């Protein structure tokens, strides 16, 4: 599919959201998404395999989604990964569903062997690169919206440099370190 | 021909500016002492330019029956104009400046009959005819240099103080403009006086030299005018200038990060999510976001490269370029995860320079090849 088509669809999706991006923080956005989907979202730092930076697993018989993100990367990168997984949810993509008991067992096992999560996801991983492209496009559009709102706010007499407002922006995205 | 064109263009421009200033002064929203002084400056500069026109110069001399009277009138005008300009820019020490102006004007008038007034009519003032003429010119140049110093020194001090007390970001830029303006002004007066004096001692020998020095001095005065205006420009000017500088810095950083991304992605064998393509207009419009995206992309590659050796799926062509991968991997891993956004961007930009000019460090890396090969890239 044409990149512009993807962008247009994602833009339309973003415009249809009833979220006020002026108050955006990753935490606030996550809570809003939880309410919208009726499912809780847990972020889990993880030693991810190199082929993926983040992963999303849904509890099959529960009301919780787990978003795993690479724990050995920069906080800014982690925030981007988290938002990318949330974008998958917004797009309505499907993901691996694991039984609640299995999820807990899986989490326990992965403490001993982090690569197990790789196997589980690979077995039931249904995402395509097209879906990743959609999620990445939506992620960038969300960031663009957040940043635009930030820049429209009244600023100091002396303009802040891009690092000043961008650091605030990355903080809002939930930079965790 | 060209000189005449320049003279007449200057005449039109200065009088145009004077009239424009007058309308602003008369019908502008707010009339200030500074505005009035600036208009008086424009008026006296216009008079100076008018007296220096060849036709006006000779006409006044003939009408008054005094040789080089226009020269005196021109100097009186430009001296008074300089006074108004300086006092408009800096309100400190105005009383001393006024006193100095009066003394200079009286001295110019007093010395004139013994200097230019006693010699034949001369349209170009490059070679002095007697010592009194040197003193006459020296008085004017001395006034100009002293005026600049009297205004610039307290102004520079005020700028530094403001920078210290209010943490003004562009204080260095303003101070640099002020310092350079002072240097240009002093150089202008010194060069002019030097050229004028040397040509007096041996006109035939030093005339070409004096003409050359005068041209350099004229370039100096142009630089001085621009720098002076920059020095006394409003804060808004500096805010805009700062934005411009930061925008240029952003473009530079963005280009560096993009180059680095292109380099590292070339050796990455794993598929990575790519940000949506953007036109250059989009990139310019939202440079911050694109810097951020490049950074995220590089960090994606960094993570993949870090563990690429563990995948045991290296294609043959990538395997052949192990040294390159190891080298880039080592560089990327050298950026700590604890840095803030600014430091992170700077670190990766710095890394791009290293990738571009890798010779000494890469040689050291190659010499240590055994260690990275085994430690960082465990092969099947």
The 10s digit of each residue's pLDDT in A54-66 is: 888 888 877 888 8
Residue B45 lies in a domain: yes
pLDDT, mean of residues A48-54: 73
- Across the interface, whether the CB atoms of B310 and A50 are under 8 A apart is answered yes
Could you give the maximum distance between any two Cα atoms of chain A, in Å? Answer: 57
Amino acid A16: pLDDT: 93
What digits encode the pLDDT tens for the residues B243-284?
Answer: 888 889 889 999 999 998 888 877 776 666 666 677 788 788
Amino acid A169: pLDDT: 58
Using the predicted structure, report yes or no on whether residue B76 has a pLDDT greater than 90.
yes
Q: Mutate which of B170, B292, B306, B348 to disrupt the A interface (most A C-beta within 10 Å)?
A: B292
What digits encode the pLDDT tens for the residues B319-340?
Answer: 556 667 777 777 888 888 888 8
Residue B216 lies in a domain: yes
Choose the final residue of a domain: B210, B234, B258: B234
Do residue B139 and residue B288 come from a single domain? no
Among candidate residues A71, A166, A73, the one with its CA nearest the CA of residue B336: A73
Amino acid A70: pLDDT: 84
B320 min Cα distance to partner chain A (Å):
20
Q: What percent of chain A has pLDDT over 70?
A: 69
Amino acid A11: pLDDT: 93
A129, A136, A143: residue with CB nearest B289: A143
Rounded to whole angstroms, the Cα distance separating B231 from B244 reads 17
Determine the distance from the C-alpha atom of residue A20 to the mean position of all C-alpha atoms in its chain, rounded to a whole number. Answer: 17
Amino acid A176: pLDDT: 41
A11 min Cα distance to partner chain B (Å):
12
Cβ atoms B189, B143 nearer than 8 A: no
Do residue B207 and residue B284 come from a single domain? no
B93 falls in which pLDDT band (50, 70, 90)?
low
Do residue B42 and residue B185 come from a single domain? yes
Residue B349 lies in a domain: yes
**B140-144, B275-279, B291-295, B348-352: least confident range:** B275-279
Amino acid B107: pLDDT: 94
Amino acid A112: pLDDT: 65
If you measure CA to CA, which chain A residue comes closest to B235?
Answer: A158
Do residue B169 and residue B187 come from a single domain? yes
- Across the interface, whether the CB atoms of B337 and A140 are under 8 A apart is answered no
Residue B223 lies in a domain: yes
Chain B positions touching A161 (Cβ under 8 A) are: 246
Residue B270 lies in a domain: yes
Q: Which of residues 100-129 of A touch B (CB under 8 A)?
A: 129
Using the predicted structure, report yes or no on whether residue B47 has a pLDDT greater than 90.
yes
Average pLDDT, chain B: 79
Q: What are the DSSP calls for A16-28, one per residue?
A: H----GGG--HHH
Do residue B216 and residue B271 come from a single domain? no
Do residue B89 and residue B208 come from a single domain? yes
- Across the interface, whether the CB atoms of B303 and A167 are under 8 A apart is answered no
Residue B59 lies in a domain: yes
Chain B positions touching A135 (Cβ under 8 A) are: 273
- Across the interface, whether the CB atoms of A50 and B288 are under 8 A apart is answered no
Residue B380 lies in a domain: no
Q: What percent of chain B has pLDDT over 70?
A: 82
Please provide the distance, in angstroms rounded to a whole number, between the alpha carbons at the two ends of chain B: 83
Do residue B219 and residue B256 come from a single domain? no
Do residue B145 and residue B276 come from a single domain? no
pTM, to two decimals: 0.64
Amino acid A34: pLDDT: 94
Choose the final residue of a domain: B173, B205, B234: B234
Do residue B21 and residue B107 come from a single domain? yes
Among candidate residues B79, B77, B71, B63, the one with its CA nearest the CA of residue B119: B71
Residue B33 lies in a domain: yes
pLDDT, mean of residues B340-357: 84
Residue B110 belongs to domain spanning: 2-234
Cβ atoms A39, A45 nearer than 8 A: no
Do residue B316 and residue B202 come from a single domain? no
Chain A positions touching B275 (Cβ under 8 A) are: 136, 140
Total domains present in chain B = 2
**ipTM of the prediction:** 0.79
pLDDT, mean of residues B91-107: 85
**A108-122, A131-145, B87-101: least confident range:** A108-122
Do residue B222 and residue B255 come from a single domain? no
How far, CA to CA in Å, does B36 sit from each of B26, B81, B99, B353, B369?
Answer: 10, 12, 20, 53, 75
- Across the interface, whether the CB atoms of B296 and A80 are under 8 A apart is answered yes
Amino acid B141: pLDDT: 86
Q: What is the 3-state secondary structure (H, E, C) of B39-77?
A: HHHHHHHHHHHHHHCHHHHHHHHHHHCCCCHHHHHHHHH
Q: Number of CB pairs < 8 Å for A and B? A: 101
Using the predicted structure, report yes or no on whether residue B360 has a pLDDT greater than 70.
no
Cβ atoms A35, A19 nearer than 8 A: no
Do residue B140 and residue B219 come from a single domain? yes
Strands A64-70 and A96-98: unpaired
Using the predicted structure, report yes or no on whether residue A140 has a pLDDT greater than 50.
yes
Using the predicted structure, report yes or no on whether residue B104 has a pLDDT greater than 90.
yes
What digits encode the pLDDT tens for the residues A156-175?
Answer: 433 444 445 555 655 655 54
Using the predicted structure, report yes or no on whether residue B92 has a pLDDT greater than 70.
no
B28 falls in which pLDDT band (50, 70, 90)?
confident
Amino acid B352: pLDDT: 87
């Amino acid at each position: 599919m044409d990149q512009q088509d993807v962008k247009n669809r994602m833009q339309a999706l973003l415009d249809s959201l009833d979220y006020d991006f002026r108050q955006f923080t990753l935490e606030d956005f996550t809570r809003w998404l939880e309410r919208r989907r009726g499912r809780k979202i847990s972020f889990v730092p993880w030693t991810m395999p190199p082929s993926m930076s983040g992963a999303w697993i849904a509890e099959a018989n529960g009301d919780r989604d787990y978003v795993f993100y690479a724990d050995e990367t920069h906080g800014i990168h982690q925030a981007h990964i988290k938002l990318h997984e949330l974008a998958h949810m917004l797009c309505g993509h499907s993901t691996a569903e694991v039984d609640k008991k299995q999820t807990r067992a899986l989490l326990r096992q992965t403490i001993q062997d982090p690569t197990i999560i790789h196997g589980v996801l690979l077995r039931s991983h249904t995402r395509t690169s097209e879906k990743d492209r959609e999620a990445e496009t939506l992620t960038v559009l969300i960031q663009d919206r957040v940043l635009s709102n930030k820049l429209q706010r009244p600023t100091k007499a002396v303009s802040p440099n891009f690092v000043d407002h961008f650091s605030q922006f990355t903080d809002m995205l939930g930079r965790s370190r | 021909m060209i000189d005449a064109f320049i003279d007449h263009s200057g005449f039109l421009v200065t009088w145009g500016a004077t009239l424009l200033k007058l309308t602003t002064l008369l019908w502008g929203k707010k009339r200030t002492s500074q505005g009035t002084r600036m208009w008086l400056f424009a008026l006296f500069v216009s008079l100076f330019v008018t007296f220096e026109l060849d036709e006006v110069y000779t006409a006044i001399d003939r009408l008054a029956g005094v040789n080089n009277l226009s020269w005196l009138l021109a100097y009186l005008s430009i001296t008074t104009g300089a006074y108004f300009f300086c006092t408009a820019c800096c309100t400190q020490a105005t009383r001393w400046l006024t006193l100095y102006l009066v003394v200079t004007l009286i001295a110019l008038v007093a010395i004139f009959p013994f200097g230019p007034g006693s010699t034949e009519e001369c349209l170009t003032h490059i070679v002095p005819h007697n010592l009194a003429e040197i003193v006459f010119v020296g008085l004017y140049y001395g006034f100009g240099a002293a005026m600049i110093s009297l205004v610039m020194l307290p102004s520079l001090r005020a700028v530094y103080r403001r920078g210290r007390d209010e943490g003004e970001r562009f204080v260095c830029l303003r101070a640099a403009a002020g310092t350079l303006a002072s240097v240009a002004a002093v150089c202008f007066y010194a060069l002019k006086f030097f050229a004028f004096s040397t040509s007096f001692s041996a006109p035939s020998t030093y005339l070409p030299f004096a003409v050359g020095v005068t041209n350099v001095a004229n370039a100096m005065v142009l630089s001085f005018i621009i720098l002076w205006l920059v020095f006394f420009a409003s804060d808004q000017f500096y805010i805009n200038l700062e934005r411009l500088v930061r925008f240029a810095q952003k473009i530079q950083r963005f280009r560096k990060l993009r180059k680095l991304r292109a380099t590292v992605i070339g050796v990455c064998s794993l598929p990575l999510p790519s940000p949506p393509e953007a036109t250059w207009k989009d990139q310019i419009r939202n440079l911050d976001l694109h810097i951020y995206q490049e950074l995220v992309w590089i960090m994606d590659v960094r993570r993949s490269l870090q563990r690429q050796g563990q995948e045991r799926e290296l294609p043959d062509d990538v395997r052949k370029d192990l040294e390159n991968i190891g080298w880039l991997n080592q560089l990327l891993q050298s950026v700590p995860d604890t840095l803030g956004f600014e430091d992170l961007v700077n670190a990766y930009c710095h890394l791009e320079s290293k990738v571009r000019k890798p010779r000494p460090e890469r040689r050291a890396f190659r010499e240590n090849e055994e260690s990275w090969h085994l430690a960082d890239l465990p092969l099947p």
